[in-house]
Amino acid sequence: MKKNIFYLILLLFFTFIFTVFYKGLDKPNFYTPKEVNNKNFEEFTSFELFSNKQFDSQDIIENNKFTLVNIWSSWCVPCRQEHSVLMNLSKKTDLNIVGLNYKDKKNNAIKFLKELGNPFSKILIDPDGIISISLGAYGVPETFLLNNKSKIIKKYIGPLTENNISEIIKIIK
């Protein structure tokens, strides 16, 4: 009798382990970054791309009801796709769009904007990529929608799509 109970427990135990691992097989084992909303946006100071003047992120964000911060670079291929979407957004709304130029050369960045248009009200530079890391970004492109209290309302990892744009327009209206 005692032996039977022991084997039963052993059997249950192995079935439990088997189910756990079997379920685990279906789980994707690659990491997908979490989209964290409602967090505070790290404050930073940087230089403007064209004027080389120093700006504080806080001053730019406070003066507008909503701000869209877009991390981009001229060498980044998805940014090229995304750019037309951003141009569209800037034409449709008067949203304050701020660019953060990630690890780029000044000449290349300006050339890129001349070719594809400039949707940004200001472009701050991030030559080492440290600012982007301190904002919690993974790479380029990445976009943050902020309110005037520096709260992250929405974070988009990867290029913006037309669907994202309509979502943003809904939020800011």
Partner 1 sequence: MIRLIKFISLILFLILSLQKLSNANNNSLSVDKISKNLRCLICQGQSVYDSQSDFAISMKILIDNKIKEGKSEKQIYDYLKNQYGEWIVYDPEFNKKNLILWAFPLILFIFGGLLIYRKVFIN
Rounded distance between C-alpha atoms, residue 61 and residue 82, angstroms: 22
Is position 21 an interface residue for partner 1 (rule: CB under 8 A)? no
Which residue's CB is nearer to partner 1, number 89 or number 124?
124
What is the closest distance, in whole angstroms, from the C-beta atom of residue 60 to partner 1 in the complex?
21
Q: Does 132 bind partner 1 (CB under 8 A)?
A: yes
Distance separating alpha carbons of residues 60 and 76, to the nearest angstrom = 25
How are beta strands 66-72 and 142-147 bridged, if at all?
A: antiparallel
Task: State which of positions 24-43 bind partner 1 (CB under 8 A).
Answer: 30-31, 33-34, 36, 42
Residue 22 interacting with partner 1 (CB under 8 A): no
Under rule CB under 8 A, residue 135 binds partner 1? yes
Q: Does 128 bind partner 1 (CB under 8 A)?
A: yes
Which position among 138, 161, 166, 169 is part of the footprint of partner 1 (CB under 8 A)?
138
The Cα–Cα gap between 28 and 53 comes to: 46
Residue 43: how many CB atoms within 10 A of its CB? 13
Question: For residues 81 and 134, which CB has a smaller minimum distance to partner 1 in the complex?
Answer: 134
User: Measured between alpha carbons, how far is residue 81 from residues 61, 75, 105, 116, 161 in Å?
Assistant: 26, 12, 19, 10, 9
**Any contact of residue 117 with partner 1 (CB under 8 A)?**
no
| One-letter amino acid of 56 | D
Which one of the spans 46-54, 79-87, 110-118, 123-131 is the region binding partner 1 (CB under 8 A)?
A: 123-131
| Structure tokens given for 116 | 């594809």
Residue 12 makes contact with partner 1 by CB under 8 A: no
Measured CA to CA, the distance from residue 146 to residue 65 in angstroms comes to 9
User: Which residues in this chain contact partner 1 in the complex, by CB under 8 A?
Assistant: 30-31, 33-34, 36, 42, 103, 128-130, 132-136, 138-139
